[in-house]
Amino acid sequence: MKRVIFPMAAATLAAMGGPVAFAQPADPNENRLDAVEVSALPLGSDANLTPASYDLLEDELLFQQSEATLGDTLNGLPGVHSDTFGGGSSRPVIRGQTAPRVSVLSDGAQLFDMSAISPDHATTVEPMLSRKVEVLRGPSTLLYGGGAIGGVVNVLDNKIPTRMPDGPVEGFFEGRGNTVADEAAAAFGLTTRAGENLALHVEGARRDADDYEVNGFTDPTIDGTWAESNNGSVGLSWIGDRGYLGLAYSYRGDQYGLPGHSHEFEGCTANGASLECAEEEHDHEHGAHEAPFVDLDSRRVDLRGEYRQPVAGIEAVRLRASHTDYRHHEIEEDVIGTTFRHRGVDARVEAEHAPILGWRGTFGTQITDGQIETSGEEAVVPKTDTRTAAVFAVERYRFNERWQLEAGARFEHQKLDPDDADRPLPSYSESATSLSTALTWAFRPDYNVSVSLARSERLPQAQEVYARGVHLATNTYECGLLADSFTCGGAGNDAGLETETSYNAGINLRKVSGDLTFDLGLFHNRVNDYVYARTLDQIEEFRLIKYSQADVEFTGAEAEATYQWTERFSTTLFGDTVRGEFKDGGDSLPRIPAHRLGARVNTFWRAFDGEVEFYRVFAQDDIAAFETRTPGHDMLNATVSYTFTGQPQYNVFLRASNLLGEEVWNHASFLARTVPEPGRNLTAGVRMTF
């Protein structure tokens, strides 16, 4: 089993990867790190040599850390937080950025859900059915989009087999549950031979959770935080000596509550830069499971393939294509209030070439065509077609054993074509060019330092340009960049849009093997014409926001250091911080995660693994206009697991979270003032692999 050491803890790495038998390992290096392959990096990069900063969850570590949502699963990695929104939705926040500046991909392909529109819209990936989750920053993100200045989250699965199973059938069964929401969840995946060169894969997952409990709050449970989810897929793949070609059909059906919802502001409209709200004649309170909820349905077809050494000079050609039909209703009192739809096609071809004058690299092209449409009471975004075409390349040159240079480039063109019967809206067509480079110096054995520079251009999304209307889930009235300045949001950038351009510099110092391992990183990101939701007016919790542009800066640090004291014991120190502020005036940007600092102790003996983790999330005092201070909290977690070897293999774990019973508020959430995070929790799970 392979694990990544930076920035994930080496101790956890060894703990989860070490026990493969009941006897004590004879080799003292058995729990040390091996080089690993990261799929989102070009050329199947050796993690110990790449200049990129990344995190990796896989195997037992992913099994134990999986939560109902992707954001909660990744929350806690250095530099990674979550913009939690109840029990059914949360997105990853990386270095202070979230969607659309953090791209979430399914094995390199676009998702075509609605999570980039709003934090209450679920990201359509199921952690229990994922075999690996990669979080990538640096030059290689240009393979997937110039606008991913926060990073790329690549979720890999097994829905399309890439190799023939070793036996007639291989797969897994998994079950888990928790106490904070009485969650019960199960998943399975089976791959079987369907012919001499054919492999068939079938998988499914189900989750069912009630409203979660909290500590120290007025109510013991939070109405609208329940969630249910059903996932399934079937895939067939032809596999040969030089590659594979496969097709899969996937279905996802979710229902989950929308907490913090209020009818008090349904009649609010914008008048210039001010809110005008009609008086409500009733006080609408929601009882248990009476809160509004989302009913989500997503159907997707994926085509994936790889052909190795098709012609001289080309090492491999990879294909990713998908078609997605996504829809969700927002329902209250059995009445559909608003419907969101997203249909899209994504096609991507990339080729890895043999060395040319010492340069190795990957180049390719990508085409996407998506259509979003909203209808009903909160049709905040008009029907819009978004078409994007891009070409990209990432190249690497190794001068010698100590010096390595990586460079990337991406050019893309995007066209937004809106269709709104109520108001004439112009099309938006623009191109963007992004460049990046990174230099790595291995100045001593096991040590390296890398310096990266990037200039990236991001093209706006339909919501940022055309939005207008009430969105009660986030308690906002939203106005796009091209909104009418007299009726929506006051004077802004209505005359025209400037391309958002970021200039990023970063430096990382690493020690990648030995008893002491660490990854220390600093970054500074200056963004010109940054698109953000500017609050113009506020009545109680309801805000008038207008997408506007301004020059901003993000500065931060991420660090993790592990010392392996013995074969059975290690300790880790970790922390991250980010500061986001306007370049002129120094005022803070909204929803920037608070500083975090902690320690972790890991122990492993035979088939047992144990971990105790404590960290402090500090109060967030650097707040934007109309924000309020978010108090800090202490978090104490503990995990114990046991592995039964043989065939089949069983892994069981017990994890306790928030053992101190803290009342937890998340500043990165839209609900930071109204909905606290889950309280004390106990999670147990078992997984059988064969």
Pairing type for strands 476-479 and 542-566 reads parallel
Which segments within 16-68 are labelled E, that is strand?
Answer: 53-58
Q: In this predicted structure, what is the pLDDT of residue 560?
A: 96
* CA dihedral (544, 549, 550, 553) positive or negative: positive
Phi/psi for 249 (5° steps) reads: -115, 130
Which segments within 258-313 are labelled E, that is strand?
Answer: 269-271, 274-276, 293-308
Residue type (1 letter), 294: V
**Cβ(193)–Cβ(165) below 8 Å:** yes
Distance between CA atoms of 689 and 248, rounded to whole angstroms? 22
SS3 538: strand
- The architecture (CATH level 2) of 10-689 comes to Beta Barrel (2.40)
Q: In this predicted structure, what is the pLDDT of residue 652?
A: 98
**Cβ(635)–Cβ(662) below 8 Å:** yes
**Cβ(676)–Cβ(217) below 8 Å:** yes
C-alpha 253: how far from chain center:
20
SS3 258: coil
Structure tokens at 376: 């009903």
Point out which residues pair with 254 in neighbouring strands.
229, 296
Q: In this predicted structure, what is the pLDDT of residue 541?
A: 80
Task: Write out residues in the chain with pLDDT < 70, as ranges.
Answer: 1-52, 262-263, 279-289, 483-496
Q: In this predicted structure, what is the pLDDT of residue 273?
A: 81
Structure tokens at 648: 């089949």
Which burial class, exposed, middle or buried, applies to 663 when counting CB atoms under 10 A from its CB (0-12, 13-18, 19+)?
A: middle
C-alpha 203: how far from chain center:
22
Q: In this predicted structure, what is the pLDDT of residue 275?
A: 84
Which burial class, exposed, middle or buried, applies to 328 when counting CB atoms under 10 A from its CB (0-12, 13-18, 19+)?
A: buried
Q: In this predicted structure, what is the pLDDT of residue 281?
A: 42
Q: In this predicted structure, what is the pLDDT of residue 130?
A: 96
**Cβ(382)–Cβ(128) below 8 Å:** no
Q: Calculate the alpha carbon distances from 416 to 277, 384, 425 in Å.
A: 32, 7, 10
Q: Calculate the alpha carbon distances from 265 to 280, 382, 475 in Å.
A: 8, 21, 8
Q: In this predicted structure, what is the pLDDT of residue 219?
A: 81
Where do we find the tokens 């078992």?
Answer: 686
